[in-house]
Structure 1
Amino acid sequence: MLALRPNCECCDRDLPPDSRLARICTYECTFCADCADDVFDGICPNCGGELVRRPIRPPAMLERDPASTERVVKPHAPCVRQNGPEAA
């Protein structure tokens, strides 16, 4: 089951479970659409896999299987250049 991570690991933008802006790879690295498209050209910087739109879990299912609250931010070189070292 997908963890539905709550943020972009590049810019730390909030990505709630119903966000259509969330992009993931097969390892569930999570990015916002802007970072996925403009910073990484649709390729995960961690594994080299394709970044695709994350599916939305229906609200009733979120009650049973809630989204993760653990935020992940990684110091990818393009993210640091774009957002400054304090964002990493």
Structure 2
Amino acid sequence: MLKMKPSCERCSAALGLGDQAYICSFECTFCPTCAEVLSRSCPNCQGSLVPRPPRTRSPTEVPSQGFKAKLEEILNRS
């Protein structure tokens, strides 16, 4: 699973799950401004910096109560 780092490795700018960011194949993470300054080349591994896919929520978030209640109802029917 892709690790969504919370900040730019160069300038420490905060990067939310849905914010635009750039990553290399080793998941080094940079904000758009730093990626441009670096000519979209990772200073750590010299790999290409490509747009990071956005997420709407963290995979570790607890499901909403509505979902949990429905799931428990289904499981308790057995």
TM above 0.5, one fold?
yes
Inter-partner Cα distance in structure 1 for 2:60 and 2:45:
27
Aligned residues: 61
Report the counterpart of residue 84 of structure 1 in structure 2: none
Report the counterpart of residue 49 of structure 1 in structure 2: 47
Inter-partner Cα distance in structure 1 for 2:36 and 2:3:
22
- Give the secondary-structure state (helix, strand or coil) at the position aligned to 1:36: helix
Aligned positions of 1:2-81 closer than 5 A: 2-20=2-20, 22-38=21-37, 40-59=38-57, 62=58, 64-65=59-60
- Cα displacement (A) at 1:65: 3.5
Inter-partner Cα distance in structure 2 for 1:58 and 1:11:
24
State the structure with bigger RCO (CA 8 A, min sep 6), 1 or 2. 1
In structure 1, give the amino acid aligned to 2:44: N
In structure 2, give the amino acid aligned to 1:13: A
Aligned-residue Cα RMSD (Å) equals 1.2
Inter-partner Cα distance in structure 1 for 2:5 and 2:16:
8
TM-score after normalising by structure 1: 0.64
Bigger Rg, structure 1 or 2: 2
Inter-partner Cα distance in structure 1 for 2:26 and 2:16:
19
- Give the secondary-structure state (helix, strand or coil) at the position aligned to 2:36: helix
